[in-house]
Amino acid sequence: MDAHSRGRADEIDPADQWVLNPQTGNYELRLDRSAGQSRQAPSHPREDARGATAPGPGGRGGPEPRGGGGQAPETAPPVPGQRRRRPAETVGQPPASRRKRRPEKARKPKKKVLIWTGGTMAFVLVGGAAGAYALYDHFNGNLKTIEVPGAGSGGFRKDQAFNILVIGTDKRTGEGNAGYGDKNSPGHADTTILFHVSKDRTNATAMSIPRDLVTTIPECQSKMPDGTVKTIPGQAKTRFNVSLGQSDRDPGCTMRTVKELTGLTVDHFMMADFNAVKEMTTAVGGVKVCLAKPVKDKDSKLDLPAGESTVQGEQALAFVRTRHSFGNESDLDRIKVQQQFLSSMIRQMKSDDTLTSPTKMLGLAEAATNALTVDTGIGSIKKLTSLAEELAKIDTKNITFLTMPVIDNPDEPKPITVVPDPVKAPQLFSMMLSDTSLTEVKKKQQDAKNAQAQAQADLLKGARSTARDVRVDVYNGSGIRGAAQSTINWLQNEHGVTRSTNKSNAPEKAAATTLTYAPNQADQARKLADLMGLPATALKPGTQDAGEREPMTLVLGADFKGAGVPLTGPAKAPEGAQTADKQVCAK
């Protein structure tokens, strides 16, 4: 609406009289807030899109005779309302509509008019959080919610780090999905990603959890369709994917399982089915993928040449489901392909091609909200928009995708399942729990920290003992569960410090990590400092020599970032991690 040539009608901002018709993808003129949208976009801004009322004196519309169609006489073009003559307008002055004036701020839209909102799945939120005009009530009605009794944190906070569990279920719901087999199954946690967002919103870590991981599913409660709450017994040494769907377990059970496994509290969950991939990739016009070799998979029906291709719909679903055409045909290699796909999808959603297209953004929001199930804590467009605003702050180059470190299940002669790596998995969990950036976006200057270390530099000068001669008792004063044991595992398994002992929790929490040693243990202290990356400020020499078999004392403090993570510098991303800003070809 041209505010300069039309002015206002009944104190309604002309900009508010144009709304987006979700059926056509076009903007249409609506002359009052109570009138419905037309099904056909006007061919010219001066046409009355309602065809129901005609402007009366002063710009207020009144009933028209049927058949009139709201048309004004041919000598005068139809207008949405006569412009009120302003008192300042006099003969010889240009009309107010032609005078230059500052544009007035549009009134805040109400629920049933347009809002600025983001996508609604974790990767949709990251990719589409720049916003899309959407009808609040329509998209709000699309969302499906599940109450998760006792799970979650009560909600994310804008000034704190938070965790979202993204679950892809293999339940065969949705049009055209019954043919994939197992159509009557309640589904499993087929694809699970723990999405950790840093406190300062500079970075995020997306950790995939293998569905064939053997773990413990704790006792949990699920809310039944009749409103009752069912308590489901815990289950030890079982596959992670049965934490959802099986035995009436809902996403709240998966959230509890992840907390039991990692120590990280999951604030919210988002769950999607097969249709999410098909409809959302179609909405954005396809997602670019890259293959190192041509693939023709009879099981998933994926048929693509080597090099770059654009996939959407059924072909996109086939790409993320294929496991026999990549790597060693394991679920771990399929996870890598899924991470590459999600990285590409995020880039596509954040591209100008998508963000500047109202049709694509509307289709994306429609597809995402239709395919999405969330917990009641974020079960509205308003709450998801608030979440989207936080996620939109993260640059794709600082979103790291990686898989939870695992090893073959030692209880199986021919392993087909995996278990957490006893050293690397706790290390990664500790890094996420302490909000450590895997992309080194939070590079801290060490000058201030090492000012005192300069004066103590001589402590690190001198001979080193061998790792096997290092004797040390490890106390956990970091506040991170399992920190002492993960450090012991790392020291013994990775470096052969076999004379290290877990002394459990320190008497109180420690602000910084310290290594206390006797003068005749200096060579052991230097060796341990080398291995752990301890700064000189962490070394606390005593005044009396220790006995031959007396150990040093290591107290892990609040600066502890994980076993094997140096205290002298930022953490490195684990091997196999990939960032969302780069195209990687599936092998």
CATH number at residue 515: 3.30.70.2390
Predicted confidence at residue 21, as pLDDT, reads 65
Of 59, 78, 107, which residue constitutes the final position of a domain? Answer: 107
**Gyration radius from the chain CA atoms:** 31
Q: Which residues of the chain have pLDDT under 50?
A: 1-15, 31-134, 178-181, 442-450, 453, 455, 569-571
Statement to judge: residues 52 and 150 lie in one domain = no
Dist. CA 531–CA 393, nearest whole Å: 36
Predicted confidence at residue 461, as pLDDT, reads 78
Dist. CA 466–CA 469, nearest whole Å: 5
Predicted confidence at residue 403, as pLDDT, reads 94
Statement to judge: residues 238 and 359 lie in one domain = yes
Total domain count, the chain: 3
Predicted confidence at residue 57, as pLDDT, reads 37
Q: Is residue 439 assigned to a domain?
A: no
Statement to judge: residues 379 and 483 lie in one domain = no
Statement to judge: residues 298 and 427 lie in one domain = yes
Q: Is residue 473 assigned to a domain?
A: yes
Q: Is residue 509 assigned to a domain?
A: yes
Statement to judge: residues 186 and 130 lie in one domain = yes
Q: Is residue 531 assigned to a domain?
A: yes
Statement to judge: residues 134 and 101 lie in one domain = no
Could you list the residue range(s) of the whole structural domain that residue 19 is in? 1-107
Structure letter (DSSP) for residue 95: P
Of 61, 87, 107, which residue constitutes the final position of a domain? Answer: 107
Of 433, 459, 494, which residue constitutes the final position of a domain? Answer: 433
User: Considering the entire predicted model, what is its pTM?
Assistant: 0.63
Measuring CA to CA, how many Å separate 91 from each of 84, 85, 87, 100? 16, 12, 11, 18
Comparing C-alpha atoms, which of 271, 233, 274 is closest to residue 255?
Answer: 271
Predicted confidence at residue 214, as pLDDT, reads 96
Dist. CA 400–CA 439, nearest whole Å: 7
Statement to judge: residues 468 and 420 lie in one domain = no
Predicted confidence at residue 127, as pLDDT, reads 44
Statement to judge: residues 395 and 266 lie in one domain = yes
Structure letter (DSSP) for residue 131: -
Predicted confidence at residue 19, as pLDDT, reads 57
Statement to judge: residues 95 and 137 lie in one domain = no
Predicted confidence at residue 20, as pLDDT, reads 59
Read off φ and ψ for residue 207, nearest 5 degrees: -100, 115
Yes or no: say if 272 and 342 are a contact pair by the CB < 8 Å rule: no
Predicted confidence at residue 29, as pLDDT, reads 52
CB atoms within 10 A of CB 75: 5
Predicted confidence at residue 18, as pLDDT, reads 54
Measuring CA to CA, how many Å separate 55 from each of 5, 51, 52, 83, 86? 17, 11, 10, 10, 18
Predicted confidence at residue 466, as pLDDT, reads 95
Statement to judge: residues 244 and 367 lie in one domain = yes
Predicted confidence at residue 3, as pLDDT, reads 39
Instruction: Return the sign of the alpha-carbon dihedral for residues 321, 323, 326, 327.
Output: positive
Statement to judge: residues 421 and 468 lie in one domain = no
Q: Is 429 left (phi over 0), alpha (psi -120 to 50) or beta?
A: alpha
Q: Which residues have CB under 8 Å from 31's CB, separation 6+?
A: 9, 17, 48, 49, 50, 53, 61, 80, 81
Q: Is residue 580 assigned to a domain?
A: no
Predicted confidence at residue 572, as pLDDT, reads 55
Predicted confidence at residue 174, as pLDDT, reads 55
